[in-house]
Structure 1
């Protein structure tokens, strides 16, 4: 008899996973607050309900039987998935670990208790707390919501006046009305992918996460594999990448630690999520080391075996992902009047994948948040730097016209 999996969230990042699950012969159910979510149309069973509303989701699926529950790329869905799994007695990371890996203040406190290297930090809710937070952290600093995503409400701050200007936004974007102030750390930012199997955690990939200047400083606009840290600092990065999810309570799951390697040889944790990341990171892992994270996540959700051949690298292929952004970036800013095919991009040397999230009539704005990434180009080469050159050159071939707004 066919087994059934429940996807919490059915947006564009979930769609490929839903189609893959169906290709395996699984029955797929999906929950999403938008009836127009692209993955919802692909599911065998649809529940239209805000997936961040646990009570609403539990009411919607009451009486519906399934064998596993998961999400892809949706940080808000992680605690919901954990709660559903726990309520139904299904495999999951646990409610406590899910909270720790989605609530930045809790995360920071647990990492501090475990001795995981990280920036100075302070939680705050009100203007009255800003001086205490600034005294604990110093300037420059980064102000962000305690539990949000997509780089929304993230600001670099240089003074108390900057905190005053941005705290309301950060608190408003947090479902619990909390913000966190963190020390701004210079260095090479990296994305890690860590696989946990019954308490045994290992690093699958480490890649550079390059960011643009200006207001979009927190957005990853280029990924480069392998990361450009070497020797002792690379070993320290791998150690910290494993230490962080272990300290947060993950035993079996996919962890996404983000790290910064500093010029003086240290490695600190920016944050650590419990999900397959967005931003084409699943594509990076698939092309770089031959591991399909969606297959791994489905196996985890269903409690299936995870042999080495499923989770260990099959090869090491240097690559780069260049996101299509504007100001800075290869895209023009303005209202889209025409979008041509990607034939020239896909035919460029080394390109193994490309796509856009652009429709005629939409407005392309200067990059500030993750949603301002309007597409991507993935290129491979003999070295990571050559791959980046290829991805940049191919991204410049996107055929698009805009008009001023």
Structure 2
């Protein structure tokens, strides 16, 4: 009989996972609080169930006899994935405790500081008055539990933070925020995969970001990393392995964002208990030959790690985004490839006439392309 996957969410990242599952003989169901996104048409069955409603998702997974409950690229889905899988005895990479730590930015920062990993000054914010307990500027202000670069600001003073923190509160489901010292330096991403408590895949890449008013919006990712020097690379890996050890991760993916500080070395910005939300599995596969979506679902079934003998990559690849202002009408003709680009893959996340989603209220990814060389 076909294995049955319940995928939480129906946006482009989840749809790509659904496509792989269907190509490999799975039956795919999906759910979401609204019936929109490419995953609705990609799934064999769609159910109007909010992915944040753990009880309803548990009932759905039980009713359809799902073998796996999972999601790709969604921070908000991962606590539900863990709780539902634990309740129903389904395979799961990260337990509820780990998922909770990595979902809540305050808990993540406290965990890192408690274990002397990438220590950083920070303050949890429940009211504007909490800002006056923090004294390290410049700083970065962000919601405690959000995604999509919503409500994030670089601030130079308490007064500036006090003016902006209501927007951070508004972007948080718990109306909480965090302020932490701003780490200066180039930014990298790290894809990691753990099998039987051993780090079997470790791939840094350069993360380029938009220079507009929305903080942290990615414009592209480059492999191999040019920002990570030979001296810095072992320090980056040590941070990843230390997190794996202290979080007691036995299996599955982790996605890190780090800054490379000249003064302090690599510093962890965020950790996610999932694959990234930037479609990077595809450029990682071009570069390394490792399909991280395949690795996730195969490991959930208990299959062995299949990439032990992958040759060392020799050809650079990069992934770049087409960006457009939120609320505008998407037109494919507005987004052209760079001249003389050696493009090996291109995909648009919208069709002509659709309105660009108001993710952060400023700018949104509307497509991406992968360059070779």
TM-score, normalised via structure 2 length: 0.91
Alpha-carbon distance between aligned partners in 2 of 1:274 and 1:59, rounded to the nearest angstrom = 24
Mapping of residues 355-366 of structure 1, within 5 Å: 355-361=347-353
1:127 paired residue number: 128
Unaligned runs of 5+ in 1: 328-332, 382-405
Alpha-carbon distance between aligned partners in 1 of 2:268 and 2:307, rounded to the nearest angstrom = 27
Unaligned runs of 5+ in 2: none
Distance 1:143 1:317, change over 3 A: same
Distance 1:296 1:160, change over 3 A: same
On the 8 A contact 1:320/1:378 being kept in 2, the answer is yes
Q: More deviation in 189-198 or 226-235?
A: 226-235
Distance 1:174 1:349, change over 3 A: closer
Alpha-carbon distance between aligned partners in 1 of 2:111 and 2:359, rounded to the nearest angstrom = 33
Q: Which has the higher helix share?
A: 1
Alpha-carbon distance between aligned partners in 2 of 1:346 and 1:215, rounded to the nearest angstrom = 24
Residues 233-261 of structure 1, C-alpha deviations (whole Å, 9 max, x = no match): 11111211232343334221100011111
1:155 Cα deviation (Å)?
Answer: 0.6
Mapping of residues 1-400 of structure 1, within 5 Å: 1-92=1-92, 93-132=94-133, 134-135=134-135, 138-228=136-226, 229-264=228-263, 266-309=265-308, 315-325=313-323, 335-336=328-329, 339-340=332-333, 345=337, 348-361=340-353, 372-381=364-373
On the 8 A contact 1:194/1:242 being kept in 2, the answer is no
1:394 paired residue number: none
On the 8 A contact 2:195/2:252 being kept in 1, the answer is yes
On the 8 A contact 2:7/2:69 being kept in 1, the answer is yes
On the 8 A contact 1:244/1:269 being kept in 2, the answer is no
On the 8 A contact 2:113/2:120 being kept in 1, the answer is no
Alpha-carbon distance between aligned partners in 1 of 2:202 and 2:179, rounded to the nearest angstrom = 30
The count of aligned residue pairs is: 371
Alpha-carbon distance between aligned partners in 1 of 2:130 and 2:111, rounded to the nearest angstrom = 22
1:280 Cα deviation (Å)?
Answer: 2.2
1:283 Cα deviation (Å)?
Answer: 1.6
Residues 363-383 of structure 1, C-alpha deviations (whole Å, 9 max, x = no match): 6799967961222221111xx
Distance 1:370 1:317, change over 3 A: farther
* RMSD of equivalent CA atoms: 2.7
1:76 Cα deviation (Å)?
Answer: 0.5
On the 8 A contact 1:150/1:370 being kept in 2, the answer is no
- For residue 75 of structure 1, give the secondary structure of its aligned residue in structure 2: coil
Q: More deviation in 252-261 or 348-357?
A: 348-357
- For residue 238 of structure 2, give the secondary structure of its aligned residue in structure 1: helix
Residues 268-323 of structure 1, C-alpha deviations (whole Å, 9 max, x = no match): 1001001111112112211111111110111133232223448x566343122222
Distance 1:115 1:155, change over 3 A: same
1:349 Cα deviation (Å)?
Answer: 4.0
Residues 74-126 of structure 1, C-alpha deviations (whole Å, 9 max, x = no match): 11101111111101112211111111111111111111122111432111110
1:144 Cα deviation (Å)?
Answer: 0.5
Alpha-carbon distance between aligned partners in 2 of 1:334 and 1:39, rounded to the nearest angstrom = 21
Q: More deviation in 368-377 or 1-10?
A: 368-377
